[in-house]
Amino acid sequence: MPLDIRALDTVSPADIADYHGLMGELYAVEFPDIDPPTVEAVETMLRPNPADVGTRVWLGREGGRLVGGARLDLLGQENVGLARIGVRVRPVDRRRGLGTALLQSAIPAIRDSGYDRLIGGAWGGGPGSRWAAAQGFRTTASFVMQRLEIAGGGWRALAGPMPDGFELRRWVGRVPDDMVESYVDGLIAFEDRPGDQASWRFPSRTVERLRDEEERLLGRGVEQRGLVAMESATGAVAGMTVVELTPDDQERAFQKVTAVLPRHRGLGLGVRMKTAMLAWIEDDRPGVRRIQTGTATANVHMIRINHALGFADAFVSLALEQSVAELLQRFPD
Ligand SMILES: CC(C)(COP(=O)(O)OP(=O)(O)OC[C@H]1O[C@@H](n2cnc3c(N)ncnc32)[C@H](O)[C@@H]1OP(=O)(O)O)[C@@H](O)C(=O)NCCC(=O)NCCS
């Protein structure tokens, strides 16, 4: 059956359904104990991100059956010059050159973009990382993905009052106006990335960008819940933790960021915020059974805290990179 790779002009509900099926098969083989992405998450995977300069999606079919897909994003903002590729092939259709063919479909768009670095991601030790190595990618950063079953775990034993001089504030959906400036300043604490050689940079934080992101998530029905550790004397934000709940996944939440400003570290604020968040979710959203999070492998302190809370390591996620010049040598015209 010949392989037919087409660039999508628009993403149809049938494309989303087919891709959801592909992701389900992929997870069943690679991560049998992890919930596969929801339809909503798959839809997001196929739609452009407004902060980027351009997005292209290719789907590969054999006799009408979806066998794989590729997505190329020309990143914007602080990451102009970085193109991100994601390639996925149905497990039963691997090692027939389909992944390479999908990457090859994206080459003209990568070349024409004038962007000079290509980045990607894969799970450590999995077929994606071996395929990527064969395509010339190198690992530039790694993250431990961890997961906690809320009903179990030792987190309750670590719950307790805030250290003297600090108090907790909660928010849902939007960071309150009276602390948003201080909150954005505090987010920068999240951005020290030990052991990371990736070219990708955190987009610089501004109140305007934070508000845009909040509106985008609210528009998709995604609920963000935040807890802030506030310095009582000044009202300044000392740290924060944020969890994201998606509308069609009632059982699982994703812990996005937990950060404590450098000058407030070592007081236990991170643990107190995390346990308070877990207690809040348990009380308020009893249907949510599992929290997932990702932490830089070199951030041994946060990984240790998560273990103490009852998080178990699920897998390692790798950031991959190569120069476009190297890629074009590999795939000359
Ligand atoms: C990565 C992926 C797209 C590869 O798809 P594929 O169609 O099997 O890849 P190809 O057939 O083009 O493989 C090309 C070469 O890569 C290497 N390779 C691919 N899979 C490999 C594996 N499991 N083990 C070792 N080498 C592998 C081999 O050198 C292979 O050539 P060979 O088969 O002649 O030995 C597929 O495994 C996948 O969907 N993985 C999950 C998603 C992912 O991690 N993507 C990462 C890239 S963004």
Q: Quote the pTM value.
A: 0.89
- CB-neighbour burial class of residue 166 (10 A; exposed 0-12, middle 13-18, buried 19+): buried
Could you tell me which CATH class the domain 146-316 is placed in? alpha beta
Q: Do domains 3-115 and 146-316 have the same CATH topology?
A: yes
Write the secondary structure of 65-133 as one string of H (helix), E (strand) and C (coil). Answer: EEEEEEEEEECCHHHCCEEEEEEEECHHHCCCCHHHHHHHHHHHHHHHHCCCEEEEEEECCCHHHHHHH
Measured in Å, residue 94 CA sits from the centre of ligand 1 at 7
Q: What is the pLDDT of residue 192?
A: 62
Measured in Å, residue 323 CA sits from the centre of ligand 1 at 20
Lookup: tokens for 26: 């992929």
Measured in Å, residue 51 CA sits from the centre of ligand 1 at 29
Parse the chain into domains and list their residue ranges. Answer: 3-115, 146-316
**pLDDT one-digit tens code per residue, 99-109:** 999 999 999 99
**pLDDT one-digit tens code per residue, 203-224:** 888 999 999 999 999 998 999 9
Distance from C-alpha of 108 to C-alpha of 328, rounded to nearest angstrom: 10
pLDDT bracket for residue 289 (50, 70, 90): very high
pLDDT bracket for residue 159 (50, 70, 90): very high
Q: What is the pLDDT of residue 197?
A: 86
**pLDDT one-digit tens code per residue, 23-70:** 999 999 988 877 788 888 898 888 888 888 999 999 999 999 999 999
**Superfamily classification of domain 3-115:** Gcn5-related N-acetyltransferase (GNAT) (3.40.630.30)
- For atom 39 of ligand 1, the residue with the nearest CA is 88
Q: What is the pLDDT of residue 147?
A: 93
Measured in Å, residue 101 CA sits from the centre of ligand 1 at 11
- The set of protein residues with a Cβ atom below 6 angstroms from ligand 1 is 26, 85-89, 94-100, 120, 122, 126-128, 130-132, 134
Percentage above 70 pLDDT, the chain: 98
pLDDT bracket for residue 194 (50, 70, 90): low
Among candidate residues 120, 290, 261, 86, the one with its CA nearest the CA of residue 191: 261
Integer angstrom CA distances of residue 96 from 70, 89, 93, 99, 181: 16, 10, 7, 8, 52
